Amino acid sequence: MNFLRNLLAAILGCIIAIGVIFVMFFVFAALLGSGEDTVEVKKNSILEIQLQQPISDYVGSNEGSPFGALFQKTQGLDDILHAIRIAKKDDRIKGISINNNFLMSGWAQTQSMRKALEDFKSDGKFIYSYGDFYMQKDYYLASVSDSVFLNPVGILEFKGLSTEVLFYKELQEKTGVKMEVIRHGKYKSAVEPYLNNEMSEANRTQIKELIGSVWNSVVEDIAVSRGISVGNINVIADTLGGRTPKYARTSGLIDAIVYFDEYENKLKKATGLELDEEINLLSLEDYSKNASSKRWYKGKDKVAIIYAQGEIMYGEGSNEIIGQGLINEAIIKARDDEKVKAIVLRVNSPGGSALTSDIIWREVELAKAVKPVVVSMGNVAASGGYYIAAGADKIFAEPTTITGSIGVFGTVPNVNELAADIGINAEQVGTNKNSVGYSVFEPMTDSFREEVQEGIETTYTTFLERVSEGRGISMGQADSIAQGRVWSGVDAKRIGLVDELGTLDDAIAEAANLADLEEFGIKKFPKYKTGIEKLMEGFGGASLFSKEDIIAKEIGSEAYIILQEIKSAMEQKGVQTRMPYTLNIK
């Protein structure tokens, strides 16, 4: 009896303790959120841009929620661009200071921010940049500034772009765990990492042309901002002409070599302050809270922006995964909303499940029959990402967007060799000729391979049909620019995969034009669960820090990226319309 009494008391005590913790947590969160509307913007302020978190196109938590920012691991590109846009017209903001290292965004996202900053300067406001060191992407963003400053013992990396593809053939041979690959016959470079130990010349040429096109766009932008010819910029890259502050200054990449206190003095001078006066620096994060209450687009009629970001997987989806659940729900809401007159689908995806891609494509087709649909491509809109975009009335891409990769493949894990080595034997029993399916413990049979190959060919043909219909070209033309080839936004426009080069704002303007709208507001979809909602939903096994965060911290970011690629490959299910490898251009 005493045991039961003590047990019940312990359980009750735990429940009360948990209740108290959560009450305190909610009070703290409410207090945290209560200050969102009290951000003071003083006269003669400078907006300070420090982008310390990974940038996604859209965060999408419910606006106005005091818990929206809790556990938020990313910054929304839409919020950043909106804040810069509002600051341009805010008389209290005199200029912008960019003080950033290790920018965690894609090239297309960085290009979008750069264009917004160029527009900010058009009203006569200044932009200064300071860095203890500039990585290439940091410098690309900073180069838009009126003046660029570097620490006297700092570093400026400027050497051109590169990327790396991992190959797993030898790993498979050593471990006895391999990926059985089935692909469309002409899809030459697909899944090379599982078949070879080195890159084929055709694939090397393809990737070199891709990153070369991206680099050309970057160089052209820098050339205009810095007043240096494209040829000379490439000479600087080839000779590492920015590797020391002195070289960077001589080559014209920066304007002056100063310490941070000296940089602050330059900011004071730019705003008309005396050296002993205090600068009114306002962080982008704080100013975004103020800017969020102001609308750039205004009108009763609406243009809906639907954000599709992440790999494409069958299911509900999330802010990091494109599933048919959330995306199709958003498309249907936008289609059926009488106030919404046009739809912009913002795609940032390397692709994924062919089935899910087609399900989303169908919903886009149904929406297009009711109102205009325009696609805006982000960092990448490849394979399945292009699949869901192909049917739009118009497609916009950034010059640095990676798109295309119109191809299909399937990978099936097999551990037959490993199983034999460690003494595992699998036996199957079935009722009919084909009732026994594929087993990871047995070699793939010819009949199963033929069955999957048939599905691959059918899916590829369907993909070509979607591209042919959407782009108004023949199947032969679609096939000639498909076969898994990846293209930059510039080249994609040249061959007809996209209609225009432009930003999300350009796509919005075109959608409004197609709907004959002069004044309009914006409605964003979908709405994702906030950090606190996810925590509550998973209570019992939830943690403030995910296992992914813990593993990445322990083994390091580079090793974690490799682990994630292997894990992603092993988890792929069904026929895939996705880029066969990750291109991290740096």
What is the tens place of the pLDDT at every residue in 400-411? 999 999 988 888
Q: Are residues 321 and 380 in the same domain?
A: yes
∠ CA 261-233-258, rounded to 5°:
10
With respect to residue 199, please indicate whether it lies within any of the assigned structural domains: no
With respect to residue 171, please indicate whether it lies within any of the assigned structural domains: no
Distance (Å, whole) CA 138 – CA 152: 17
Has residue 244 got a pLDDT over 90?
yes
Which of 214, 160, 210 minimizes the C-alpha distance to 399? 214
Has residue 116 got a pLDDT over 70?
yes
Q: The CATH number of the domain where 507 resides is what? A: 3.90.226.10
pLDDT tens readout for residues 151-160? 999 999 999 9
- Report the Cα 515 to chain-centroid distance in Å: 28
With respect to residue 221, please indicate whether it lies within any of the assigned structural domains: no
User: Across 475-557, where does the E strand assignment appear?
Assistant: 486-488, 500-501, 521-525
Residue 493 bears catalytic tag = no
Has residue 298 got a pLDDT over 60?
yes
- pLDDT classification of 140: cutoffs 50, 70, 90: very high
Amino acid residing at 34 = S
Q: Give the end of a domain, one of 248, 268, 291.
A: 291
Has residue 64 got a pLDDT over 80?
no
Mean pLDDT check: name the lowest of 85-89, 165-169, 544-548: 544-548
Q: Are residues 356 and 261 in the same domain?
A: no
What's the token pair of residue 136? 């290439």
Contacts of 51 (CB under 8 A, 6+ apart): 75, 80, 100, 103, 104, 105, 284
Q: Which of 169, 188, 268, 523 is catalytic?
A: 188
Contact criterion met (CB below 8 Å) for 301 and 341? yes
Q: Residue 397 phi/psi, 5° resolution?
A: -135, 155
Residue 543 confidence (pLDDT):
44
What's the token pair of residue 535? 């925590």
Q: Which of 97, 129, 383, 405 is catalytic?
A: 383
Residue 318 bears catalytic tag = no
With respect to residue 206, please indicate whether it lies within any of the assigned structural domains: no
Has residue 122 got a pLDDT over 80?
yes
Q: Give the end of a domain, one of 253, 270, 291.
A: 291
Exposed / middle / buried, residue 577 (Cβ in 10 Å: 0-12, 13-18, 19+):
buried
With respect to residue 79, please indicate whether it lies within any of the assigned structural domains: yes
Q: Are residues 272 and 399 in the same domain?
A: no
Q: Are residues 491 and 574 in the same domain?
A: yes
∠ CA 144-145-147, rounded to 5°:
140
- The larger pLDDT score, comparing residue 567 to residue 509, is at 509
Q: Are residues 278 and 313 in the same domain?
A: no
What residues make up the domain containing 114? 38-159+240-291
Amino acid residing at 352 = G
- pLDDT classification of 544: cutoffs 50, 70, 90: very low
Number of domains in the chain: 2
Residue 567 confidence (pLDDT):
54
- Quick check: helix, strand or coil at residue 47? strand
Residue 503 confidence (pLDDT):
96
Residue 50 confidence (pLDDT):
95
Q: Are residues 285 and 326 in the same domain?
A: no
Q: Are residues 408 and 546 in the same domain?
A: yes
Q: Are residues 363 and 282 in the same domain?
A: no
Residue 173 confidence (pLDDT):
87
Q: Are residues 313 and 402 in the same domain?
A: yes
Note the pTM of the prediction, 2 decimals. 0.85
The whole-number average pLDDT for the span 236-242 is: 96
Q: Are residues 457 and 542 in the same domain?
A: yes
- pLDDT classification of 420: cutoffs 50, 70, 90: confident
As a whole number, the mean pLDDT across the chain is 86
Residues in the chain: 586
With respect to residue 4, please indicate whether it lies within any of the assigned structural domains: no
Q: Are residues 100 and 74 in the same domain?
A: yes
Q: Are residues 376 and 266 in the same domain?
A: no
With respect to residue 202, please indicate whether it lies within any of the assigned structural domains: no
Helix (H) or strand (E) holding 547: helix 547-555
Residue 193 confidence (pLDDT):
87
With respect to residue 95, please indicate whether it lies within any of the assigned structural domains: yes
Distance (Å, whole) CA 528 – CA 502: 27
Distance (Å, whole) CA 83 – CA 47: 10
Mean pLDDT check: name the lowest of 15-24, 40-49, 560-569: 560-569
- The larger pLDDT score, comparing residue 334 to residue 197, is at 334
Contact criterion met (CB below 8 Å) for 403 and 498? yes
